[in-house]
Every structure is written in C-alpha cells, then in structure tokens.
C-alpha cells in the first residue's frame, strides 16, 4: 500500500478531517489529527448538518459508522416549512416525509455537529487527535514537512492533509487562489425555544425557510431545542464593519432588523429580541469554479480548505466527507504507483465535482435572494416531493 511506513498529519478536526482519519485507520495507516480546540469538550458551534445519500452518508457507510449514525441523528429534523415574510406557510412536508428513509435519494437526515464529532472521535484510536494544536506554519524537510503550532510544539509528517477550513493556513503552500465573495451576508444568531415561543410553535423540531423582499430568514432547531437562525441578505463584503453595529448588543441588532426587514411580520422580532450574543456576521465565499494547482507528492487539501462553497445547496460538509472517502481510496488502493499519482487522481476528480456543486450553490443563492425567491423555492421543493 502506498502509505505503508508513511506518517500522515491531518490538520483540522472537523467532519472531513475526522472522517478521513477513521477511513485511513481502517487501513492501518499511521495518522495524527492536529486540532486547534483545547480538548474534546470544546463547544462545537454551527447549524445542524444534513447528510446526503451519495456523499456524507456514503462516507459514513464506508467508515462502518452508519449504524452509529442512525442512533445519533435527529428523526424529523429535516422536515421543512417554506413561508413568506408574513410567516404564512406555503409549503410543508411535515405530514408527507417519513422520519427514517435511509437509501432514498432525497432523504437528508440531520445531525448536530457535536454528536457527529463525538461519534467520529470515539471511532478513532486513542490519542489520534492532538488537541491544542493551532497550526502556524510549516517547512519542507526530508521529503515531508515540519509543522509548527502556536503552543510551541512541532511535528514531522511525510504527508500533510489540510482540513483546516475556509481560512486554511495550509492552502497557500499549494496554491495562490483565494476565495471570492458571493455578495451575500448571513447574520447568525441563536435563541432558546423558551425565549421564542411563537417560532418554536411553528418549527416543530424541523426547519423554516422564509422569503420576502429579496431577503431570507433561515432557521433550524438543534438537538437541545435551541433555534439557530440566519438573516440572509445581499450586502457589501465589509458590511459588518461599515454597519457600525455592536453584535454583542441585541437591541442594536434588533433595531437594525426592524429597519432592514421592515416589511416582515413582527413575529420574527422575538428571534432578535431574545437571542444569545454575540451575533456572528458571516460573509459567504466560494472558490473559483475552474481552480487548479500543481500536485505535490506530500501535501493536499480537502473540504473547505480545498473548495469553500456557499451553503445554499447543503453540500459543504457532504462534499468534504466525500473528499475524505475518495482521498482515502486513492491513497490505499493499488491502482497508483506513487503518492503523487494517487493525490493527483483525487484532486482532479475533487475539483471537478466541487466546481459543479459550487455553481449549483451559487445559483441557489441568487435564486433565494431574488424578488421571486418564494415562487422559485416552492417550485424547487414541490419538484422534489413529486419526483
């Protein structure tokens, strides 16, 4: 096997990095995961993830974790309501969608990020993850790399795999291409269900997508009952600075919301009135659709480090976990004669696949922030139900 006697460093302990570590360890590879979080109990933030049959779920199946996933996912959390700005319901699949339908093309079971991470961590050999390893830099050495971390430690690896996210510090060692701003800002908030009773009564454990006046509110209920939500709108890339808002002051943010979303029903106000602070402004980026770089024999990228994409098709984590699956297969089968050849085969396929998914997501983002967003999204969802 190509990676026999090869020390492998995966930088980043998100879904992609941990999935890859699991898949490689099943092939007896020598793997370490370097993660910046101080320990496994660090809070994992972000909205729940929906797993897709031919990507995220395919990776979990290959990792022999599908049965564990079935014990951990949240039945019914993928059920969706589509509304207008007045909170009038135009689409609901709550009565139509089965809570468990593994193997079906459009079944997208949801799981919170924390339980997914814990499941993956528990599948790894003890001490695979080296915590408190905030990557700073690396240098070529003896055909591999010496990695340097903020805590003053260093480590050598024959092969480095960057799974360190959209703002990857390893990506520049391979390519100068940088993410491109999509034109969309998503202002993230979180509120307990007790503090937003009217919205909680509507969402019923699932998701809400509300469209009006070329703006969105997107919500998902987490496993602990909290409502994670996003106000999504078009704005300048530096909106968070130019807005003058203090995102730790919810009264300021509420005032902004009432002005910018003035046409929207006041039911939405309770999200902002009672949210936990700070709010987090997230400019949405994507990589160029035609990116390329010269393959190295000892370095590659996966997930957002390789192809950060907008979240409007739900493909980010799924593409990242599919990267892990495909890279592990390239590194561990007997098709290729060198690591560089194996990595090149993975990168060519990954870039093509990611470019298609990115374009789809960008198109969805434009559709969701258009004047006819509600009509377009209803057509899209009704097509999935009737297909």
CA nearest to 321, candidates 13, 58, 40, 12: 58
Strand order in the sheet with 80-84: 89-92, 80-84, 207-212, 215-221, 227-234, 180-191, 276-286
* DSSP result, 32-64: EEE-SSSSTTS---S--EEPPTTTHHHHHHHTT
In DSSP terms, 190 is beta-bridged to: 228, 276
- Cα(347)–Cα(344) distance, rounded to whole angstroms? 5
- Cα(104)–Cα(53) distance, rounded to whole angstroms? 7
Q: Which residues are annotated as a binding site for FAD?
A: 50, 113, 304
> φ, ψ for residue 217 (rounded to 5)?
-130, 125
The structure tokens listed for 283 are 């400019």
Map residue 328 onto helix, strand or coil: helix
Burial environment of residue 84 by CB neighbours within 10 A (0 to 12, 13 to 18, 19 or more): middle
- Cα(125)–Cα(165) distance, rounded to whole angstroms? 23
* DSSP result, 222-255: -TTS-EEEEEEEE--TTHHHHT---TT-HHHHHH
C-alpha distances (whole Å) from 332 to each of 121, 329, 342 are 21, 5, 9
Q: Which residues are annotated as a binding site?
A: 43, 50, 113, 304
- Cα(87)–Cα(219) distance, rounded to whole angstroms? 13
**Can you say whether residue 83 is alpha, beta or left, with left for phi > 0 and alpha for psi between -120 and 50 degrees?**
beta
Q: Which residues are annotated as a binding site for NADPH?
A: 43
> φ, ψ for residue 50 (rounded to 5)?
-105, 130
Q: Between β-strands 154-157 and 144-149, what pairing exists: parallel, antiparallel or unpaired?
A: antiparallel
Cis peptide before 278 (omega within 30 of 0): yes
Taking the C-alpha atoms of 128, 133, 134 and 140 in order, what is their torsion angle to the nearest 10 degrees? -80
């Amino acid at each position: 096997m190509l990676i026999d006697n090869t020390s492998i460093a995966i930088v980043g302990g998100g879904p992609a990095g941990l999935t890859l570590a699991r898949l490689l360890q099943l092939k007896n590879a020598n793997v370490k995961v370097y993660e910046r979080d101080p320990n496994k109990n660090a809070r994992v933030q972000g909205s729940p993830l929906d797993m897709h049959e031919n990507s995220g779920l395919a990776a979990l199946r290959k990792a022999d974790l599908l049965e564990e996933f079935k014990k951990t996912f949240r039945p019914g959390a993928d059920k969706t309501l589509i509304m207008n700005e007045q909170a009038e319901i135009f689409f609901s699949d709550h009565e139509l969608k089965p809570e468990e339908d593994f193997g079906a093309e459009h079944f997208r079971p949801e799981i919170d990020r924390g339980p997914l991470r814990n499941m993956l961590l528990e599948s790894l050999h003890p001490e695979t993850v080296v915590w408190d390893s905030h990557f700073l830099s690396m240098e070529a050495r003896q055909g591999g790399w010496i990695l340097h971390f903020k805590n003053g430690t260093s480590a050598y690896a024959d092969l480095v795999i960057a799974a360190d996210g959209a703002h990857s510090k390893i990506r520049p060692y391979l390519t100068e291409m940088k993410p491109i701003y999509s034109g969309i800002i998503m202002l993230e908030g979180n509120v307990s269900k007790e503090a937003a009773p009217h919205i909680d009564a509507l969402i019923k454990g699932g998701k809400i997508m509300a469209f009006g006046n070329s703006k969105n509110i997107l919500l998902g209920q987490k496993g602990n009952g909290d409502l994670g939500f996003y106000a999504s709108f078009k704005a300048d890339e530096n909106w968070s600075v130019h807005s003058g808002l203090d995102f730790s002051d919810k009264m300021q943010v509420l005032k902004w919301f009432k002005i910018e979303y003035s046409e929207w029903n006041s039911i939405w106000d309770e999200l902002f009135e009672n949210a936990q602070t700070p709010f987090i402004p997230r400019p949405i980026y994507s990589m160029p659709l035609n990116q390329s770089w010269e393959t190295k024999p000892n370095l590659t990228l996966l997930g957002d480090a390789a192809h950060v994409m907008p979240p409007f098709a739900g493909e980010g984590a799924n593409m990242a976990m599919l990267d892990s699956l495909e890279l592990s297969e390239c590194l561990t089968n007997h098709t290729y004669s060198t690591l560089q050849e194996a990595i090149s085969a993975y990168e060519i396929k990954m870039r093509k696949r990611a470019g298609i998914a990115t374009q789809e997501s960008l198109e969805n983002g434009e559709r969701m922030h258009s004047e006819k967003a509600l009509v377009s999204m209803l057509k899209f969802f009704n097509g999935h139900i009737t297909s």
